[in-house]
Structure 1
Amino acid sequence: MNVFKNLMIGFGLLVSSVAFSQSNFRSQQIGMGVVVSDMERSLDFYVNGIGMVQAGKFTIGAEFGKRGGLTGGDSVQVHILKLENSPQASDWKLMSFGRKAAHPKPKFIQDDTGVQYITIQVKSLKGIIERLKQRNVTFLGSTPTPLNKDAHFVLVQDPDGTFVELIGPLE
């Protein structure tokens, strides 16, 4: 009986600590900011190829960029993309300083550190595959690859090398 009581107390402490640690966040989403070399190419890839929507844009001014430690004094326009234009959808924020990356484009996710890929769950891969082929986007590996009877896996890279996993049915 003592063992059961100790297990229940431990479980209660675990649940309360998880609930407490979660309570500090106002949102359940994580917005991602991505620096791209060519804004127009990246917008074409994400909006016209993947199918994201433009949900807004804003400018980080030079003074705020420097004071906030973001840019070192450069001004930059940020384009907000989402999978759907709703408050619940996460932000995929693109910004460009008009420079190429200082490191080589990775061939595989293990070639660099930091954020290497994103995963997008889709209702149908068919239209996305067609749009990406129209844009001459290279499909990596032997994709689409079946995961199970209801889903396939497609892997591509955006113009700057971020891997994009697309998972869903072919139709």
Structure 2
Amino acid sequence: MIMNKRFSLPIFFVLLNLNVMAEDNFAQQTIDLGVVVTDLEKSLKFYKEVVGFSEREGFDVTGKFPKQVGLTDGAPLSIRVLTLGEEEAATKLKLMQVDGKKPTRTIKQPFIHTVSGFSYLTIFVKDVDQVLARAKKYGYEPYAKSPQTLPEGLPQDICLLMLKDPDGNFVEIVGPNTADLKKK
């Protein structure tokens, strides 16, 4: 089917405008991820000491607001903010535990495909071996047979280390493993 020339130029501009609108729709190109945890201090230690996040100033959400927007049943929230890097637009991990309230559901997840929804967090690092050493220092063992070098067809000299945080959430650590590279 041949498009009428008089319609092709206006359609081009409409499509171009839609593309520009999609690009301009976001205030930043990173996301913040909120995680409700069962033991805030244990989770903070894992994400800071093992994974390498930095803690930033947190914040509280109190009054009627948490209930009005559907965050809680009226309970106040105290949120601890962790970041990757020091840039203002760095990815933020927001950890929270509501005092006196236990989550009604915890996930027992043997594999990433066994539950629907967000299944894992991927963190890109400069040295997987350093994260593995810190994990072992704090009593966390790699999940399954990781770390493993990525298979042929994927980026070479890159490893994947699977860990589970204190609540059993998968944390995928991806990057070079300098110990393996030194063996080559």
TM-score by length of 1: 0.87
Q: CA deviation at 1:13?
A: 5.3
Question: 2:73 corresponds to which residue?
Answer: 72
Following TM superposition, the consecutive aligned residue runs of length 4 or more in structure 1 with deviations greater than 6 angstroms are: 6-12
Which whole-Å CA distance do the structure 2 matches of 1:82 and 1:132 have between them? 19
- Judged with a 3 Å threshold, the aligned counterparts in structure 2 of structure 1 residues 22 and 140 are, in CA distance, closer, same or farther, namely same
Instruction: Quote the residue 2:109 is aligned against.
Output: 106
Aligned to 1:157, which of 147, 152, 164?
A: 164
Instruction: Give the CA deviation at 1:159.
Output: 1.1
Aligned length: 171
Q: Distance in 1 between matches of 2:163 and 2:35?
A: 17
Verify the 8 A CA contact 2:132 2:142 in the aligned structure 1: no
Identity of aligned residues (%): 32
Q: Over aligned residues, Cα RMSD in angstroms? A: 2.5
Paired letter, 1:134: K
Contact 2:120–2:172 (8 Å) recurs in 1: yes
Q: Is the radius of gyration larger for structure 1 or structure 2? A: 2
What amino acid is the match of 1:109?
A: I
Aligned pairs for 1:1-171 within 5 A: 14-97=15-98, 99-100=102-103, 102-147=105-150, 148-171=155-178
Aligned amino acid, residue 176 of structure 2: P
Q: Aligned partners of 1:159 and 1:29: how far apart in 2?
A: 25
Out of 9-18 and 21-30, give the one that drifted further: 9-18
TM-score (norm 2): 0.81
Q: Name the CA shift for 1:50/1:17 in 2 (closer, same or farther; >3 Å).
A: same
With 153-162 and 95-104 compared, the bigger mean Cα shift is at 95-104
Q: Give 1:113 shift.
A: 1.5
Q: How far apart, in 1, do the equivalents of 2:51 and 2:80 lie?
A: 16
Which sections of structure 2, spanning at least 5 residues, go unmatched? 179-184
